[in-house]
Structure 1
Amino acid sequence: MRAFVVTGPGEAGPADVPEPVAGVGEVVVDVERAGVCGTDVEFFTGEMQYLADGHASYPLRLGHEWCGTVSGVGPGVHPAWIGRRVTGDTMLGCGECRRCRAGHQHVCETRQEVGIRGGRAGALAEKLAVPVRSLHELGGLDPMAGALVEPGGNACRAARAAAGERVLVLGPGTIGLLTALFLRAAGSEVHLVGATPWSVEFARGLGFPAATTVPDPPFDAVVDATNDPAAPALAAELVEPAGRIVYIGLAGKASLLDTRLVALKDVTAVGVLSGSPGLPDAIDAYAGEDVDPRPLVAATVGLDEVAAVLGGKRPDGAGAGPKIHVDPRW
């Protein structure tokens, strides 16, 4: 089959690889759609911290936002799974440690991450093998929405943690916009701040107040969905006393945060690593049309165009949204 393989910083492209075989407790999925994420860009450039920490190494196969149809099952998996349209959890815990037993498999010390960590091949390929325990059924969701469930799970968790009457979201990228959509569906008044005029304009097109400068407070909660190392401190300054800060963006270097400000304002700070606990709620929100993530997708490309996208090129004819999807069958 064809898959997108990264062999080193800036070195990547489609390659012929063996088709996956479902192991014990696994299924094989025919991939319909996969999303390109900022994490994928960091692997392409060589900046991803997992490379330095030894959690990942080249060559690797990216893709952790995906949907598809189960086409094969391994030993111990009921054949009734064949033909079901699914997406899957990125985080694959060991299932035995203290964290996994407590329901926190997404922070398991020895976890694999699909397309990211521990050598688990990703979904920028025609086929993908994953544990059946990681699957979530999509029902009638179309491929575009199905491949947005994983980032939607992250955003759903961030929105739940930031619940408030008036919320500020820093960073109108995919996660920031999805978080804003979930917050609005829950009844919050949401404002967005972006670094570029085009991102602000796109957020306004979704019906949000948005600007390149911070609007007047108060903010019951502030969500940092940026990669700006100055944003965490700014969020602490802007949030109301007794409010909530949600950190879901990651900067390329360490951020400085004066915890005296957090303590003296009696602020609750929440970090969100994974969409794992939010995946079912994201599917329900999409299926019930409380949240429609599809306007965020600017274009869908084939495997041959992925390297250019990771290098920063917008596909010809792309819309204004921040997300690029891949159909690996093209």
Structure 2
Amino acid sequence: MTGLAVGGAEVGGLEVGGLDEGSRAVVVDRPGSHRLVRRDVPAPGPGEVLVRVAAAGICMSDRELYDGRRDAGYVRYPVTPGHEWSGTVAAVGEGVDPALVGRRTVAEGFRACGRCERCRCGETSLCTAGYAETGFTEPGAFADHLTVPAQLLHPLDDAADLRAAALLEPAAVVAAAVRAGGPRPGERVAVVGAGTLGLLAVQLLAAYRPAELAVVDPRAARGEQALAFGASAALAPDEEGAVAGRFDLVVETAGAPTTAASSCLLARRGGRVVLTGMFTPGARGIDPVHLSLSQLELRSVFGAPSSAWSDAVRAFGLGLLDPAPLITHEFPLERFGEAVALVGEGDPATGKVLLRP
């Protein structure tokens, strides 16, 4: 994959680099094997933009991809990972507004077709044309540059913090969960898990002015951070029994083996539960007797439709969502192996890990 650099040529009307610069990318050839390559700066095709990456987050899905634990239908090796990212439009392809050049931006990861019934109904994360996602089946942002369809962009304010904006992908997933849960002011709300998704959920849910906003997580430091973000109580899992059946809305974000079932027990009769964490085989099942007798409304979220992305970007622009305090580690592309090894190791001091090309 090593190739000649563009060498001062113009791509979409913009000079993109000198002969010796090119564009670097992390390539995972197969589980457990990666390399940093230098290649030509990718040229945007018709309807596409070229983005200079500012920051890219590493999440558990990326760790699963690297370890070979991601479902085979949701990854295509070799691949450049990176689905959580922010950057600046460097060039545009044919048919794309040239005014986008220089804009700070993020973009949706799912490459929805825009034509199937689900897409036409606004459910772009349920596109029936087949799964395709930046960083899993399409080249991602663990690179200096990437190309994406212009229709997936969500431009940011000129002064937007691109370091923090790299977390707008998980924020969009949380925004999808909040939409599914339909919080109303004055309700009692619980968030299960205080990782990246959980702490972003606390920020978004706090904007609805709940009467209570409790967070359940075994890590005391994460509970303290949740309180700083607007939670009214931080509970350990062994304290769940005291508040069982209390909450109007429960948003599960942990994806731990027991949290789907325990989240249902936290909800009041007739309450709502949204499952956002990514569960692995062997997770404890939800008691169908409890589910039916309690008349729970149960939803799940995988990724985010365009509408949720709009919600997250809007909340970020208004200052209702501040992902920056969640970032604890930053690495250059050359240290990808070290960076990915931190993710999922259980150290409570490790929050969001970024790559900074």
Superposition TM-score, scaled by structure 1 size: 0.91
User: Where do 5+ consecutive residues of structure 2 fail to align?
Assistant: 1-22
Residues 129-173 of structure 1: CA deviation (Å, up to 9, x unaligned): 000000011113111232121111111222233325111111110
Which deviates the most, 27-36 or 1-10? 1-10
In structure 2, what is the equivalent of residue 228 of structure 1? Answer: 256
| 1:29–1:84 CA distance, 2 compared to 1 (3 A) | same
Distance 1:234 1:182 in 2: 22
**Which amino acid in 2 is paired with 1:42?**
E
Contact 2:219–2:348 under 8 Å retained in 1: no
2:180 alignment partner, one of 161, 165, 186: 161
| 1:8–1:111 CA distance, 2 compared to 1 (3 A) | closer
1:284 alignment partner, one of 296, 314, 323: 314
C-alpha deviation, 1:198, in angstroms: 3.8
Pair 1:322-2:345 in alignment: no
In structure 2, what is the equivalent of residue 66 of structure 1? Answer: 85
Distance 1:29 1:310 in 2: 23
Distance 1:97 1:196 in 2: 43
Distance 1:202 1:304 in 2: 31
Secondary structure of the residue aligned to 1:187 is coil
**Which amino acid in 2 is paired with 1:9?**
P
In structure 2, what is the equivalent of residue 274 of structure 1? Answer: 303
Pair 1:116-2:142 in alignment: no
Distance 1:8 1:307 in 2: 14
User: Where do 5+ consecutive residues of structure 1 fail to align?
Assistant: none
| 1:114–1:59 CA distance, 2 compared to 1 (3 A) | same
Q: What percentage of aligned pairs have identical amino acids?
A: 34
Distance 1:197 1:8 in 2: 37
Secondary structure of the residue aligned to 1:19 is coil
- 1:109-188 aligned within 5 A: 109=128, 110-117=130-137, 120-139=138-157, 140-162=159-181, 163=183, 165-188=187-210
Aligned residues: 320
Distance 1:280 1:174 in 2: 19
| 1:64–1:257 CA distance, 2 compared to 1 (3 A) | same
Superposition TM-score, scaled by structure 2 size: 0.84
Residues 203-237 of structure 1: CA deviation (Å, up to 9, x unaligned): 34545322323353211111211121221111112
C-alpha deviation, 1:41, in angstroms: 0.7
Distance 2:97 2:136 in 1: 28
User: Larger Rg: 1 or 2?
Assistant: 2
C-alpha deviation, 1:102, in angstroms: 1.9
Secondary structure of the residue aligned to 2:269 is coil
In structure 2, what is the equivalent of residue 191 of structure 1? Answer: 214
C-alpha deviation, 1:88, in angstroms: 0.2
Distance 1:101 1:324 in 2: 35
| 1:250–1:115 CA distance, 2 compared to 1 (3 A) | same
Pairwise CA RMSD: 2.0
Secondary structure of the residue aligned to 1:72 is strand
C-alpha deviation, 1:268, in angstroms: 0.6
Distance 2:49 2:348 in 1: 34
Contact 2:63–2:343 under 8 Å retained in 1: no
In structure 2, what is the equivalent of residue 24 of structure 1? Answer: 46
**Which amino acid in 1 is paired with 2:329?**
A
